[in-house]
């Protein structure tokens, strides 16, 4: 259903270059963005302007000559995987709306937070789990609004909770949700948002006195440094994460941290350190097909997952053993881990390129590109393009 012009909207935003930056991160032209808006509108039975009008709107939105209405902002956030602030250019310095008006309202929020029960905390955790499952299968781009609302709810619950017996369970739930939100932000190319969410997750883990959550958030944050070209600093951070976890870490999380260290050491050009970390990961990993850590629901690692980590790390350091590990991982891959499958295809392409087997590399990159597009993963798309340029 098409309209010739947008209807009146209650809320309009001033836009800087946030839309253009998000579009460019996906390597979309303005014409591609118009097509994606129309596709999204058809799928969700929404009314949008004609194609000709949308072309004008996109140009004017990016040049700041037309504000983005709330209706189109919602579509663009879902398509591009960005928050409203990132879309409209509102920064940290913008004044925040008041959340409480006077002492009566403040006490009301405190009383409400005091009544947050363990049942409510379980509901928060269940919501995080649902978002994790959707992210794994569909990608992060379409979940920005849900994730932002979830974090806001948790932060409010923690802000107005007073006593430790209430704060700690909420802080634990926030630590897990913030770390998931950070990984999603990293996947869609929102690097600064990812960094801030990791810092939020670390603070929440410290307040909850949860060393495992703190170690996990710190370790994932090391990937941000690695992607930014600071692999030596990332090595230091991943090792600090192991120290922060201490002796209370589960065996599966310990193995995951060593596997992460191996990959980061490989990217830092430390082949001996990489191999030592892989050996430690193999020793610590519990046996059996079970992949999920019951003590850290965000950790999935079994022998099949570790084979993928091992193959990736060995491919990065040019080890011939990489190929066997990667094809073992491909055979054991869970099809619901769509984004991970894109990464695995990239690993295989890289391993084949090292052996001069360019036809096989092309085929794996083709598969990786399809999977990255399916989930809207800017991070994996960037890696595909980098490898393609090397062919």
CATH of the domain at 75: 1.10.260.40
pLDDT bucket at 329, cuts 50 / 70 / 90: confident
Q: And the tokens for 214?
A: 């703190």
Residue 152: inside a domain: yes
In a domain, 354, yes or no: no
Classified as helix, coil or strand, 81 is: coil
Could you give the 3-state DSSP secondary structure of residue 358? Answer: helix
Residue 166: which domain range?
105-209
Q: Report the pLDDT averaged over residues 154-182.
A: 91
Taking residue 62's Cβ as centre, other Cβ atoms within 10 Å add up to: 21
Q: Which of 221, 253, 268 is nearest to 240 (CA)?
A: 221
Domain boundary (158, 176, 209) is at 209
Whether the pLDDT of residue 294 is over 60: the answer is yes
- Tens of pLDDT, residues 33-76: 999 899 888 877 888 888 888 998 999 898 888 888 888 998 99
The C-alpha torsion from 364 through 366 and 367 to 372, rounded to 10°, is 120
* 11 vs 88: CA distance, rounded Å: 12
Domain boundary among 209, 226, 250: 209
Chosen domain end from 166, 185, 209: 209
Same domain, 123 and 39: no
Together in a domain, 70 and 131: no
Instruction: Let me know whether 132 and 193 are in one domain.
Output: yes
Res. 13: pLDDT tops 50: no
The pLDDT score that the predictor gives to residue 5 is 42
* pLDDT at position 48: 85
Nearest CA to 220 out of 247, 246, 192, 201 is that of 201
User: 3-state DSSP call for residue 1?
Assistant: coil
Give 175's pLDDT tier (boundaries 50, 70, 90).
Answer: very high
Residue 6 has pLDDT above 70, yes or no: no
Count how many domains the chain has.
2
Question: Same domain, yes or no, for 71 and 124?
Answer: no
**87 pLDDT band (50/70/90 cuts)?**
confident
Same domain flag for 29 and 59 = yes
For 97-103, the CB contacts below 8 A with 24+ separation are: 99/156
CA distance 7 to 174: 38
Specify the pLDDT at position 160: 86
Is 290 inside any structural domain?
no
Rounded to whole angstroms, how far apart are CA atoms 91 and 352? 44
Q: Residue 117: pLDDT above 80?
A: no
Task: Answer yes or no: do 77 and 120 share one domain.
Answer: no
Arithmetic mean of pLDDT, 183-192: 90
């Amino acid at each position: 259903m098409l309209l010739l012009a947008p209807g009146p909207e209650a809320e309009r935003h001033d836009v800087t270059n946030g839309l253009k930056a998000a579009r460019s991160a996906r390597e979309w032209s303005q014409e591609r963005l118009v097509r994606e808006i129309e596709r999204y509108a058809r799928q969700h039975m929404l009314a949008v302007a004609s194609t000709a009008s949308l072309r004008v709107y996109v140009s004017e939105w990016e040049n700041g000559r037309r504000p983005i209405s709330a209706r189109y902002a919602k579509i663009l956030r879902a398509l591009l995987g960005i928050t409203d602030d990132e879309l409209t250019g509102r920064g940290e310095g913008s004044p925040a709306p008041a959340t409480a008006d006077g002492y009566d309202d403040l006490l009301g929020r405190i009383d409400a937070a005091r009544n947050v029960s363990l049942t409510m905390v379980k509901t928060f955790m269940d919501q995080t789990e649902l978002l994790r499952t959707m992210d794994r299968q569909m990608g992060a781009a379409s979940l920005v609004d849900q994730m932002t609302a979830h974090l806001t709810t948790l932060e409010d619950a923690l802000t107005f909770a007073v006593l430790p017996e209430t704060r700690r369970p909420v802080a634990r739930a926030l630590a897990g949700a913030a770390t998931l939100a950070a990984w999603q932000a990293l996947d869609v190319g929102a690097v600064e948002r990812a960094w801030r969410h990791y810092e939020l997750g670390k603070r929440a883990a410290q307040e909850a006195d949860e060393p495992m959550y703190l170690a996990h958030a710190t370790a994932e944050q090391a990937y941000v440094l690695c992607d930014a070209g600071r692999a030596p600093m990332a090595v230091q951070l991943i090792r600090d994460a192991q120290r922060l976890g201490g002796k209370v870490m589960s065996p599966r999380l310990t193995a995951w941290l060593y596997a992460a260290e191996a990959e980061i050491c490989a990217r830092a050009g430390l082949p001996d350190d990489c191999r030592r970390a892989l050996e430690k990961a193999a020793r610590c990993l519990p046996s059996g097909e079970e992949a999920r850590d019951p003590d850290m629901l965000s950790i999935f690692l079994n022998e099949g997952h570790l084979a993928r980590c091992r193959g990736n790390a060995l491919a990065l350091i040019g080890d011939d053993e990489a190929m066997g590990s990667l094809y073992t991982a491909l055979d054991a891959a869970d099809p619901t881990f769509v984004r991970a499958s894109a990464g695995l295809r990239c690993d295989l392409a890289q391993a084949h390129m090292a052996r001069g087997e360019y036809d096989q590399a092309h085929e794996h990159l083709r598969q990786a590109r399809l999977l990255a597009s399916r989930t809207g993963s800017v991070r994996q798309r960037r890696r595909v393009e980098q490898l393609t340029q090397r062919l």
